Structure formats: C-alpha cells, structure tokens
Amino acid sequence: MCGVFGVYLTEDEDVGFSKLATFAYFGIYSLQHRGQESAGICSYVNGEIVRIANKGLVLDAISKEDIKNLKGKVAISHVRYSTAGDDSFENIQPIVRSSSRFGEVAIVHNGNLTNYHLIRRMLEKNGVNLKCTSDTEVFLGLLDVVEKDNSIASHILDEELIPYLVSVLKLVEGAYSILMIINGKLIAARDPLGFRPLLMGRRKDAIVFASETCAFDIIEADYWREVKPGEITIVDENGIRTYFFSKSQNTKKCIFEHVYFARPDSLIFSEYPYNVRKKMGMELAKEDDVEADIVIPVPDSGMPAAIGYSQYKNIPYEMGLIRNHYIGRTFIAPSQDIRNLSVLMKLNPNKGIIKDKSVVVIDDSIVRGTTSKRIVNLLKEAGAKEVHMRIASPPVIGPCYYGIDTPTKEELMASHMSVEDIRKFIGANSLKYLSLEGLMRSVQDPDSFCDACFTDNYPVEIKL
C-alpha cells in the first residue's frame, strides 16, 4: 500500500512556502496510515523538478525548511511502504527521471505491476538504465522507448503526450493509481480494473487528487469524483481533459481497502469503510451463536465491526484493549522482528473491564497470526474468563500481487492451517471468521471487487 496526492493550483503560481507545499504536505500527512517507510514531495518550477524525500513518517521526513523550496503550480506527494523493491533511498517516491522526450518527469504510484519483470527486461534490452528496484520507474522508462499509440483522438493540446502515455499504459499490467508531472502538467491515471482508489477533488484555487478523501478534508477541498478505471486525466493551464485508454467491463476494486487499509472516514469506491466495516460486524454476528459478556475491538481497524457486532447481538461494547497511537501499524511494518516488537508496544489490556468476563474480541483480519496470538495472551493474562476471537473477513489464503505486502503463501496462516489449528495456535476458546458471502453482503456491487486473497481467483495473471 501507498498513499498518493497531487495538486494543481488554478490561480496564481505559488512562490514558496504557502499553498502548494501546504497542500502537498498535509495531503500525505492524512494518508500516513497507507505507508510509513518514507515520504516525498516534488514540484515543477521553470522546467525542473524539485524533490524532497526521505525515510520515515511525513513529520520526520520533510522539514519546514525543505518545503520552502517547493514552488510553482503543480506538486505530487507520496507515502510508501514497499510492495515491490526494497526500502532503499532510490525507491523512495516521487521518482524523478530525465526523459529524452519530455525533460524531467516525476511519478508517484500506488499498486503493483504484475508484468514488471518482463517490462524491466525489455527496457534494459533497449538500453534504458533503471536506477530503482521498484516497479514504479518503468512507467517513466517506457515513456522514452514506446511508439505512439494513436487510437485515442487526443485533444490538440496534448497531441505529443497522449499517444505515448496510452502506449505506456497499454503495456503495463496489474494495479496502478498514478500521478505524474510531465511538462508542468499534472496527470492522473488508473488501471483498467481499478484495483486501488484514486479520487479527484477541488477547491476554488486548486484541483487535487488523492488515494482517499481524508486528504481532501484536511485541506478543505471538496470531493468531486473518482478517476475511473482506464482513465487518464490531465490538468494544466488550459483546464482539465479526460481520455480513456481502456473500457473495462468489470472492475476489480480491492476489498481489503474496506476490510483494513483505508481510513474509516474516507469515501472510497463510493462507500465509507466505516459503514462497510460496521455491516461486516453485523454479518459476523448473524453467523455467530457464541454467548459473551462484552464485545471488544482490536483498535483501531476492528472498532467499526465490533460496534456492528455488539449492536446486532445486543452485547455491551467496551474498550478492552487500549492502543498506544504512537506506534506504527503492525501489518505494514516491513520485517518480522519489527512486527513482533510493535505488537508488544502497541496494545495494553484494560484490566478493569476484562477481568472475569467472557470476551468476544473482534479484529478485521488474521494475516500472519502474530498479533492475534499476542492479543489472546494479553486478554487471558488480564483475567478474561473466555476469549472468543472473531474476524470480520474470511481467512486470507493467498498473497496479494496488486499492491499489498503479503508476499508468500507460507506467511499466511490460513493457507496451510485449518480454522481449528489456527484457534489452537492463537490460544482462543473459539475462533470464527466472517464468510465470503457475509463479506460481500457488506458492500454495494459485490461483483465489482477483487477477492483473490480469500479465494485464489486472481483477476490478472502474474508474469515473471
């Protein structure tokens, strides 16, 4: 997962340390939950790209002093956690390249290309030198080597750029929501199946793009619409233009965005994750006959589902686990060591609530099982009489190749263990997952979602 943000000022150019930088900075600040390894911003001034990027959270990676250098009308910004390529400095986004056709160009990307290795080999054969090991740079590398694709009658203003962009986007496969700066234009594009969200907003003085609407709220921009699957949108001094390089019959939006990743208060895929998660909790309750004294969430992402479960079952909802908010999200920490440590540092049982109670504890998912085991332990140590673990999504049995870091089947407990074996491993009195049908009843238009990590039905082939 990653978070992307882009802004084009429609009024005067920004001469430094005001609107442009503020929007680009706070845009990714509110998307911090989508990636915590690194953060970066770049803007375009006088034909050159100015880039500020570093490892760490937005607050640490980008200083007030740095953003004084961000001037002009257009900027893109990014928070990253690595799904392709390591977390080295070269892979921090935005990625900037000098293009023989378009001068300095920059890109930010959320997703994963499924034919990256093929494209990389093709580029290297053509003498294109790639400095990153992540898949994002190939978009820019391809811009210099592809032939024009004239299948779209492009507006005269974009006649040089559009045929090349269409060629690039027809070559890459997989998941991508991207923002680019090319020739001072802000360009947004989304893959034909629309795996990852990409939204457009506006203020009276700016057009903005972001992975989630929470990035619009923080800068007081209004949500406008989604960038549609297969769409390219260009914003420049001549206004906004939209082209379609692919007309999808079916989308494959990532259902895990609703299960776990997106912020509950964001509007993505036309729904609020909060509402979807609450419905997931209600569906889980419908499928469950356990009796308990209290329902507690694993904070924060288990909270809406626990509220739904508690309301449906009429069992009191309590805050039985208190989260230290200053530790990163467990699932997206890059190595096992750091993950173990952060589970220990992150949650503390509320003993006054837990002691002598039969507890239903609700989490959004079990991926590696480390967090669940630790939580059951914590609750038992705090005096819980019984711990019934309930998961508001089905067992994750397959890795994601479309932008989420679950790299191998071996790491996914449910791929090789039965529910009963997992229950024993985590030490709960009982364990139950939401059914796939129950999950799909929780979203509008269920056929428009990817569910491959629960079903092994992958919508796009992985090419090595």
Enumerate binding residues for ligand SF4 (CB under 6 A). 195, 254-256, 400, 402, 404, 450-453
Amino acid 357 reads K
Contact 79, 39 (CB under 8 A): yes
CB of 454 to ligand SF4, least distance (A): 7
Provide, rounded to whole angstroms, the least separation between the CB of residue 243 and ligand SF4: 25
Active site residue 453: no
The residues with which 187 forms a beta bridge, in sequence order, are 180, 234
The residue among 341 and 397 lying less far from ligand SF4, judged by its C-beta, is: 397
Is the CB of 43 or the CB of 112 nearer to ligand SF4?
Answer: 112
CA dist 191 and 228 (Å) reads: 9
Least CB distance to ligand SF4 at residue 336 (A)? 20
Residue number with CB closer to ligand SF4 (279 or 388): 279
Task: Please name the amino acid found at residue 332.
Answer: I
CB of 332 to ligand SF4, least distance (A): 12
Question: What distances in angstroms separate CA 460 from CA 175, 292, 297, 355, one per listed residue?
Answer: 9, 43, 34, 48
Q: Which is nearer to ligand SF4, 169 or 404 (CB)?
A: 404
**Is the CB of 113 or the CB of 354 nearer to ligand SF4?**
113
d(CA 229, CA 113): 15
Helix (H, G, I), strand (E, B) or coil at 243: strand
Minimum CB distance to ligand SF4, residue 311 (Å): 27
- 354 CB-near residues (< 8 Å, 6+ apart): 296, 320, 379, 382, 383, 384
Q: Which is nearer to ligand SF4, 111 or 328 (CB)?
A: 111
What's the CA gap between 264 and 280, in Å, rounded?
Answer: 13
The two most distant CA atoms of the chain are separated, in Å, by 73
- SS3 for 264-327, per residue? CCCCECCECHHHHHHHHHHHHHHCCCCCCCEEEECCCCCHHHHHHHHHHHCCCECCCEEECCCC
β-pair partners for 185: 182
Measured CA to CA in angstroms, residue 335 lies from 81, 262, 277, 326, 407 at distances of 11, 22, 28, 18, 12
Report in angstroms how near the CB of residue 263 gets to ligand SF4 at its nearest: 16
- Kindly state the smallest distance separating residue 365's Cβ from ligand SF4, in Å: 10
Cβ neighbour number for residue 274 with a 10 Å cutoff: 19
Distance CA 167, CA 169 (A): 6
The catalytic site residues sit at 2
